[in-house]
Amino acid sequence: MRLRNLTLCIITVATILGMFLSCQSQEELDMRNYLSNGRSLYEVKCRNCHGEQGEGLGELAPPLTDSLSLKKKKKQLSCIIKNGLEGEIQVHGKVYNEKMPAFTELTDMEVAQLIVYITNSFGNSQGHYPYNRVTEDLKNCPSSAQL
């Protein structure tokens, strides 16, 4: 009797969980996948300079905790990640002038995943940014690395 009740309980929980997951929109599922993959990419490509919590690296690399700055530059983030950055950039009222390397090896999907992770972590909450937007953003990058 106990085994039957336990089995019935497990089936009920699995059914409810399955219904919950199937009710999520494609954008919610994409967002979750982008965040997960973006986190992995961030740890390999960005964490050494921008910090584990997006706090930056002293005078060298700006923090990624300024939601307003990230929001203003969201369409430029694709170009910055893919092509690097030269010249001054101001974050939290502080000027940074170190060169950021280009990550030309990243696919548009990987750039999108990084953008979603960065703009939804470290106190930021800016929602989904699909890879087709990155593709469009990259078509409009300035010819120099300055943004």
pLDDT tens profile 76-118? 999 999 999 999 988 888 999 999 999 999 999 999 999 999 9
Domain ranges within the chain, ordered by starting residue: 27-139
Query: What is the reported pTM?
Result: 0.79
Task: Determine the pLDDT at residue 145.
Answer: 46
Tell me the pLDDT tens digit for each residue of 115-143: 999 999 999 999 999 999 999 999 999 86
Topology of the domain comprising 27-139: Cytochrome Bc1 Complex; Chain D, domain 2 (1.10.760)
CA 99-144-128 angle, 5° bins: 75
